[in-house]
Amino acid sequence: MHKPIKKVVIVGGGTAGWMTAALLKKVLSSVIEIELVESEDVGRIGVGEATIPPIRDFNDVLGVNNAEFLRETKATIKLAIKFENWQKIGSEYFHTFGAAGKTIAFCPFHHFWLRANQSGYQTNLWDYDLNYLCAIANKYSPLQTQNPLLAIPHAYHFDASLYANFLRKYSEKRGVKRTEGFINHVSLNAETGFVEKLHLKNDAIIEGDFFIDCSGQRSLLIHKALGVGYEDWSHWLPCDRAIAAPSERLTNTLPYTRSIAHSAGWQWRIP
Ligand SMILES: Cc1cc2nc3c(=O)[nH]c(=O)nc-3n(C[C@H](O)[C@H](O)[C@H](O)COP(=O)(O)OP(=O)(O)OC[C@H]3O[C@@H](n4cnc5c(N)ncnc54)[C@H](O)[C@@H]3O)c2cc1C
């Protein structure tokens, strides 16, 4: 017989941990108790983060104040990703979060654009993509519109560690309990094999009905305790190292991420 879940324990307080805590608390409110365990000795990844538009849905579900979010996470607007030097040195293209033109009668816009071109009406497809036009003009406006032609789908660049702090504040205010402590050992239930208890360095024991592993690359529950392992994709992904470095501040903050190909890897530049 399954026991009802009354207490959820989240292992880790990086972006994954605090996003999980905030969302569960928002959705399940007082139905469950939530405890999050993290260790300042281990720390977070916490680099500059380039997100994609669903981050806004996430913030909307939480009901966070957007101005507060932008301020506290030092966020900037992201309209697109600009790929540079990928096809050949000097080549570039934008992957925008918007779209060129509008689908009419189930027919994507580029068909109309191609037809117009064949008929002698020569235009650039990008001229119909508002995100692209805003990105290259370094502009953005929070438009309130139902018209998809005028919408500017966007995401944010922000500091991942500040976002975790922001959501920590949100979650604790709503009753999520945070425990500071290094997890030494995880014990499993002898019968079910499920995670049962966390044993902290200071000898404290944390029990719960449902555990969520947000311990990042350490994978304390999924890998270490449960031995699930992972699929090795290194044959498809030859780049297996990342170096994070602060870059020079530009006079005008760009509203897009740059992805720049190099002879030995690629560079992600996040405003
Ligand atoms: C250079 C670089 C660039 C990146 N760029 C992007 C990007 O542009 N966009 C994007 O979406 N993602 C990006 N990522 C990935 C993203 O930053 C990470 O996947 C994400 O921040 C990881 O968050 P996390 O919460 O899973 O893990 P972490 O931030 O590693 O948090 C792990 C948590 O587990 C806790 N923990 C671990 N072990 C223990 C223990 N024994 N006891 C107690 N607590 C423990 C830690 O205290 C910490 O709170 C990038 C990553 C890197 C390295």
44 lines ligand 1 (CB under 6 A): yes
DSSP E strands in 125-175: the ranges are: 155-159
183 lines ligand 1 (CB under 6 A): yes
Task: Say whether pLDDT at 81 is over 90.
Answer: yes
d(CA 9, CA 152): 38
Q: By the 8 A CB rule, do 138 and 254 touch?
A: yes
Q: By the 8 A CB rule, do 61 and 23 touch?
A: yes
Phi, psi of 165 (to 5 degrees): -60, -40
d(CA 110, CA 16): 38
12 lines ligand 1 (CB under 6 A): yes
What pLDDT, in 10s, does the model give residues 92-136? 999 999 888 888 889 999 999 999 999 999 999 999 999 999 999
Choice from 45, 220, 270 to test ligand 1 binding pocket (greatest atom count within 8 A of CB): 45
Q: Where are the domains of the chain?
A: 1-94+154-271, 98-153
User: Which atom in ligand 1 lies closest to the alpha carbon of residue 50?
Assistant: 8
47 lines ligand 1 (CB under 6 A): yes
Domain 1-94+154-271, what fold? Answer: FAD/NAD(P)-binding domain (3.50.50)
pLDDT score for 149 = 67
Choice from 42, 161, 237 to test ligand 1 binding pocket (greatest atom count within 8 A of CB): 42
What pLDDT, in 10s, does the model give residues 15-52? 999 999 999 999 998 789 999 999 999 989 888 889 99
212 Cα distance to chain centroid: 18
| CA-nearest residue, atom 12 of ligand 1 | 49
Kindly indicate the confidence band of residue 148, based on its pLDDT and cuts at 50, 70 and 90.
Answer: low
7 lines ligand 1 (CB under 6 A): no
DSSP lists the bridge partners of residue 269 as 258
What pLDDT, in 10s, does the model give residues 170-214? 999 999 999 999 999 999 999 999 999 999 999 999 999 999 999
pLDDT score for 143 = 80
| 243 Cβ contact partners less than 8 Å away, ≥ 6 residues apart | none
198 Cα distance to chain centroid: 27
User: Which atom in ligand 1 lies closest to the alpha carbon of residue 42?
Assistant: 47
Q: What would the DSSP string read from start to end of 12-35?
A: --SHHHHHHHHHHHHHHGGGSEEE
Task: Say whether pLDDT at 141 is over 80.
Answer: yes
